[in-house]
Each structure stands twice: as C-alpha cells, then as structure tokens.
Structure 1
Amino acid sequence: MDITHRGPALPLAMMLALAACSEPLDFDLRGRMGGSVDTSQAALAAVADRPKPDDRGIISYPNYQVAVARRGDTLATLAGRVGLPAGEVARYNGIQTDDGLRAGEIIALPRRVSEPSPATGAAATGPIRPAASVDITTLASGAIDRAPATPATRTTTGTTAPAAQTGVEPVRHKVARGETAYTIARLYNVSPRSLADWNSLDKDFTLREGQFLLIPVVETAPANAVAVTTAPGTGSPTPQPPSASAPLPKDEPSPAAMAAAATEQKKEPVADIGQSQPAKSSAAMAMPVGGSIIREYSKGKNDGIDISAAAGTAVKAAAGGTVAAITENTDGVQIVVIRHPDDLLSIYTHVDGLKVKKGDAVSRGQTIGGVRAGSPSFLHFEVRKGFDSVDPMKYLQ
C-alpha cells in the first residue's frame, strides 16, 4: 500500500505521533501496518528489576556470568576487576580494550570466574536461581536455607542479614548485524524501554554488532492478552503453574512409577520389617515423625514445620509417592523429596541413614531414614502444591 496516495495528512500524523513519543524514532514499522510482529502488549507486562551485581560487578547465573560496568570504566579496567585478560573479554564482546563503557553497561564474560559470595558483597554464594525452581534438587537444597537450626543470623548492627537473590535466568542475546533494540524487543515480546533499562542503553538505544544483551524477565502476562483458541479436536493446552519458570525436570519419574505409587497409596500401609503398623488416619498425610512442633509454618520465612525428635528416630513417608530427588547441602545435610499424586511434593531435611533411593515407590508410613543428630535434633518437613509452599498442617490434621 502506498500511503502517499492518501494525501499528506496521514504521513504527517504518523510523524507527529512518533515525535511525541519519549523513545527514539523506530523506523522499523513491521507489525504497525497489519503485520504479525507487534509488541503493543509487551509494554503492559510487568518486568522484574535487573538483579544487583556483587562488589566486582558480577551477576552470575547457572549457564553464564556477566559484569556490570561502573562509571568511568573501560573494558580493560572492568576485566582487571573481575580477573580476566582484557583482550579475551574484548574479543568476546566485539570491542577494544580501551573502549569506554557506560555506567550499568552489560559485558558478557567468556568464561566463569569465582562465584559471588559474602566475601564479594553478595548475600549468598553461587549463581542466582529461581525461588520456586522446578528443578527438584534446587528446590530441596533451598529447603535447608529456609530451615536453619538456629535463629536467623543477625549482623553486627542487629539487622537481619539480606536474603540471597533469586530469579529466572534471562535469555542472553548476541546482537547480529542489522538488529535494533526494537526488533530485538519484538523478538522477545518485551518493551524497548525495559530492554534499554536492563542493559543501560544510551538515549538513542544504540547497539553494536556482537554486543550481548540481557532480555528482561517478564513477571506477569499482559492483563488484556488475547486467549489462545485451539482447533476443534486438538484438545486444550495445559495451563502453566503460576510460579513455574521452566519446563518440568528431565528426571521426572516415569508414568509407570507414578501409577505404581498411586496404587500403593490406595492400599493399606505396609509395615516395615521390625516396625509396628501405623494407625489409620483420615488425614491426607501422616506425621513423618513423632514429636512436638518447635517452629511453625510461615510462608516466605519458614516454608515448612520443624518437628523435635531424638536423633535416629524413624522418619516416615507422609503419603504414598515416588522418591523424586535425594541430595545434600554443603554441610552434608541430606534432603529427600517425594512426589505424590495431585501435584503434591513433600520435602524432608535433616535426615540420616536413608533407606530409599531416587526412583523408589514408597507407601504411606514407610521408613525413609532417621532424624539427623543435632542440637537440637529435629526434622524439617515441607509440603508443596505445584511449586508453592502450603501449610503442612492442612494435610496432617
């Protein structure tokens, strides 16, 4: 369509509208004239803040690390601060070692350096991971951090130590020849402004070939997003859990194992050799260990309950299911995750002497290990519906 045949009013109106925008002119109008590429909805989505770097400027994720430039930095000074050869970092980012950097500019690291830690100004050691990761091992390891054996650590000033950063690992995009901030924003359905903010682009949204960009993480979908309609006979798409940020783990128990676990749950509890038969209960889950609750559930603070018990006391599966993961933290504290029907997970930490292995089908009341010795000794127990923690007492009473 040749818009010049419609008189000067339309082109003038378009230029006035563009000039009124606070962002630089976008001469790539694909999607504005009836095309398939459009990010008008992207601007309505809530975008998370970019994570804070450590004292060196490092932001670390499981699959890559980047460095954030300071005011007055050159590529050489940034490389020296993170401990990498300036030439190597320059070649990886397609710039010169003496090139100046904008404050907040993202520089990709060609290889990993030491992880952020309290020694480098971070709240915890290691890369940023999702708070409600679908990776069972990560979820289990986080349970240890949420269930300290002693009260929360206090700093010398009396304030609670900051929590470790969590978040979804963003896409790291390498700019190709001919790409603009607008075409990249449309590619990932984010707004150009959020892309510029995350990467500290200049007022003209200038990019260079070979530059790495972090794609902003969208927290929520646009409120007025158009619903997806499937063709007749194709079925409805499975909704994604609200807190899910990645596909289910590859080590998902097989359908046969899940079916076996479901069958086991319907049967009468099977007593362990040398153990007495557990009493029947109408509750969805049984107490995993006998004892008093010394720390109650508090969402976001303590995502489970702590049950006092003598070291070596048998820890039992709260319900029938499949052992989805067994791991331990850096202190050797073991963690067991059992997956149950109806999208439930139960998590047991401070367990020793395990009697099960990953992939085993377990029945309600079956001993999975013993309470780990401690001062005091206790079992930390969590229940998750999908990926959100819930008060275990709702299932135990």
Structure 2
Amino acid sequence: MTARTRNVSAPVLGVVLGIALSACSQPIDLDLRGKIGGSVDTSAAALKATENRPKPDNRGIISYPNYQVALAKRGDTLASLAERIGLPADELAKYNGMKINDPLRKGELVALPRRVTEPSAATGADIAGPIKPAATVDVATLAGSAIERAASTTPVVKDGISGVEPVRHQVARGETAFTIARLYDVSPRSLAEWNGLDKSFAVREGQFLLIPVVQKAPEAAPRTREIPEPGTGTPTPTPPSASKPLPDVTPPPATAAAGAATAVTKPDPKPAKPVADVGEAKPSGSDMVMPVQGSIIRDYAKGRNEGIDISASAGSPVKAAASGKVASISTTAEGVKFLLVRHPGDLITVYTHLDNITVKKGDAVSRGQSIGKVRSGDPSFLHFEVRKGFESTDPMAYLP
C-alpha cells in the first residue's frame, strides 16, 4: 500500500505544480514585447526556470525510483541502444512505438519497459542506485560516509543523490511539444533539451517525455523588527494632527458646551447581550465532505504521505469534497488513475486509485457529486490530498 501511494506522488505533484503555476494571473511576455526602452522584467522567466537533466551513466541510463530511461549516443539506432543496455530490441521498439532500425539523435530519450541493472561504479555512474527523493536522503549519513572515505585513495561511488522524479508524459494523438509544455507550464525549449528533441520540436504519438523539474524559488528572508537600544526609549508615533488637517468646524460656545455636560442621559432600557467567544474561525474549506466512506488507514505525514488513505471496498462511490472545476485527469506509468479538482482560494483536491471516472477535464462539479469509484486493490483504498498552491496540507483540517 505504501509503495502504491508513493508511485503516484511524483506525477501528481508535477501536475499540481503545472496547474498552480497556470493559475497565476500575471501575463508572461517571453519576447519582451513592449519592453523596448524600459527596464527588462525577467520575473516570468524565473518562474519557469528548470533544473538541469541528471547526468546518465556510460550506458546512457538515468534511473528513478519508479522508472528508467536511456539516452542515445551519436550514431545510435534503437537496436544498438538496446544491445548496450541489455534489452531485446523488439521489446524496446514496441514500448516506444518505434522500429528496430530507427536512427536516434544524440541525447534522444528512450523509455525502458522494465528495469535494467542499476547505475553503479561498474557502469561509470557517479551514484549507486536510482535517484532518491530529497526527503529520503540522510544528509548526516552521507556526510559521515564521505569523511570515512576521505583517507582512501581508491575511487568510491557515492551512496546516492537526491532529486525530484519528473512526471513521465506519454504523447497522445494531436499533442505537440508546445501543447505539452503549456500543459505543465514549462518552456518548449527546456522540454526539448530534457528529451533530445530536434530543432522542430517534433514528437510522435506514444512517445514518452520527461517533464523538466521546475526550480524552487528561494524563500524570502524574514523581516526583522528594529529594536531600539536600551535607554533610547520607544519611538513616538506621529500624531494624527501632523498628517491630517483639523476639520473646518467651529466649536460650540463654552456656555453651550457646559449646558450639554450637565444634561443627564437616559440609560438604555435594553442593554446589548454579551457576544459569546466562539473561538478561532475554521479554515475556508472546512465545509468539505469525506470523499468516500471508510476508516483512515494511513494519516497525513508531510514528506512521507502527502494526504490520507481511506479504506473503502472496490466500487465504492467517490465524491467531490467541495465544489470546483476538474483541472486534470491522468494515469501514471503504473496504471494508477488520479483526478484533480481546483477550488476557490488556491485550493486543489487530489483523488488517486480511482476507476470508472464519470467527469472530464473542465467539468464543474458540486460538493458531494460522484466523480468515480474506488479502484480494486489489496487492500482497496482512496488516496486523498488537499493542496494550498504548491504545498500539501493536512486534509483533516478541511473535513468535518
């Protein structure tokens, strides 16, 4: 169960990032049109900045936890690549929708139908095993191992390297590199560089593409409040009269003011009832409903489980937790279907391990509306997430 949930986390995160970025209202002026003669605004480009593609081993293999890919060398055909990585050429060709003797461009990416030997020192890799998610890398352990190895003169391969597993997208009929780049909100050029596309950015139906990983924006330094030195006193705020002029009203005569002061005011016969302290208001999405009836078999744990797993029998109806619009419906390479619904307030709900989905992308859904059924499994369950922009949050804060 844990492995199944982890398998869909990277694709879901990639789609959520794309949807969250596409929700930005700021226009993107890639060709700087209208900027001639003025200052150059590079903020939009910074939002789309992507990481460099990881370096492959001598065979051309890049290994992630859930899949592997191979990069072609100059003069390669699909047959020569298959021989180098140790897979049958016909199996590799069928999986990628190609022919055995098709020529490959240098750096062209080919998806592997099954895993081959993991990268290691024997294959000329800088790492041993697949690239690990950053949350699973023990920095202290790696640092300690590096110190222990420092005295040795024999080259030793690192224990592992952290990184984000990219979304793997299979090209559907009618899609182009430009429509796919727009779907995930990355630039077509970075998509071409990651996948070794030609100058025309041509893609073919059934081809697997890696979606470039978007760089995380650096967090702004917290603002510090200036504290005066001891003995200097607290700065006195500017009085209102210094910033706003006095009203042009003539004060009443002193006698009238004195008479008004002696007047006795009649008390209110019905004093207002005290207002009860109801505590802190609930989150804006607290009117969500449980997407499926069942017990929670795995709690939210940021970095390990980005949502909750709800036990339910196969075929149980899955409901939209709140009203919104279907933002994406997709399937991972392992065949796990997931659905995303966008809600007001920059909220996105995620539903995975679905079957018989009854809505389509762009549909408006209402709170409690059936959107599909629970997929069969051992055990069968629904994985449910609530994301605020890029970050996952505990769904229980939004559920009754």
| Normalised TM-score (structure 1) | 0.44
| Normalised TM-score (structure 2) | 0.44
